[in-house]
């Protein structure tokens, strides 16, 4: 069975930015949920404001009518304005283990929001596969990709030693750079961001 990762983009509060331990209660609730295999969080490198919460397998917790509302209350102080309506949460069944990406010092999140006219997953899939594997790329630890459960969008995660090594790799004359450029050519809307994730509960598979 493919690993399913929940990813949440959250406009972070100043309180969280000043003390990331503010999210510990949320992480602990999540860790104890049946089926949870890993919990990570951190601020986006590019804006230093967007909080990324990454959970390996979360469906059991969402369906818990007692615990989940308590978790939501614990999350509110970490969210700008305290409203959970601003959260962007989705689930991604991945083609491979996300451990190399999540446990690296830096993680790139490529989010393909829309494909070009007339394009389908079969067009972009081989290039996503090659890019996310990042075979032989200096500073890369491999990754995984998948299609969102909720909508026709795609996410690829890759682990890196540093953000700078990723930026260098996409500009090199290499098979990795060719794959990245092919993905960009097929996607009509794509964002690539980086997060130095804090491990609360390490995913080991």
**Residue 46: DSSP 8-state:** T
pLDDT by residue for the chain (205 residues), tens only, comes to 668 999 999 999 999 999 999 999 999 989 988 888 999 999 999 999 999 999 987 666 777 777 788 899 999 999 999 999 999 999 999 999 999 999 999 999 999 999 999 999 999 999 999 999 999 999 999 999 999 999 999 999 999 999 999 999 999 989 999 999 999 999 999 999 999 999 999 998 6
In the chain the beta strands, taken as DSSP E runs, fall at 4-11, 38-43, 50-56, 88-93, 106-115, 140-147, 154-160, 187-195, 198-201
pTM, rounded to two decimals? 0.94
User: CA angle 92-97-101, nearest 5°?
Assistant: 85
Q: Which residues of 96-106 are buried (b: 16+ CB within 10 A; e: fewer)?
A: bbbbbbbbbeb
For the domain bounded by 99-195, which CATH number is listed? Answer: 3.30.70.100
**Residue 152: DSSP 8-state:** S
Burial of 118 (0-12, 13-18, 19+ CB in 10 A): exposed
For the domain bounded by 4-93, which CATH number is listed? Answer: 3.30.70.100
DSSP annotation string for 154-186: EEEEEEES-HHHHHHHTTSSSHHHHHHHHHHHH
Domain ranges across the chain:
4-93, 99-195
Same CATH fold assignment for domains 4-93 and 99-195: yes
């Amino acid at each position: 069975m493919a690993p399913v990762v929940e990813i949440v983009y959250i406009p972070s509060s100043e309180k969280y930015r000043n003390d990331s331990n503010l999210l510990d209660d949320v992480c602990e609730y999540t860790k104890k949920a049946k089926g949870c295999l890993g919990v990570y969080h951190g601020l986006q490198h590019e804006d230093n404001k967007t909080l990324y919460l990454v959970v390996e397998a979360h469906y059991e917790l969402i369906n818990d009518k007692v615990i989940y509302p308590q978790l939501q209350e614990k999350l509110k102080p970490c969210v700008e304005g305290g409203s959970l309506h601003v959260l962007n949460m989705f689930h991604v069944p991945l083609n491979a283990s996300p451990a190399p990406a999540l446990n690296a010092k830096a993680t790139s999140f490529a989010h393909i929001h829309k494909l070009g006219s007339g394009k389908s997953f079969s067009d972009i899939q081989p290039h996503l596969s090659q890019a996310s594997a990042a075979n032989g790329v200096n500073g890369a630890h491999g990754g995984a990709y998948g299609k969102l459960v909720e909508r026709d969008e795609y996410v690829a995660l890759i682990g890196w030693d540093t953000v700078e090594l990723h930026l260098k790799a996409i500009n090199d004359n290499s098979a990795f750079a060719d794959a990245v450029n092919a993905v960009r050519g097929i996607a009509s809307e794509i964002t690539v961001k980086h997060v130095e994730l804090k491990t609360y509960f390490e995913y080991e598979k």
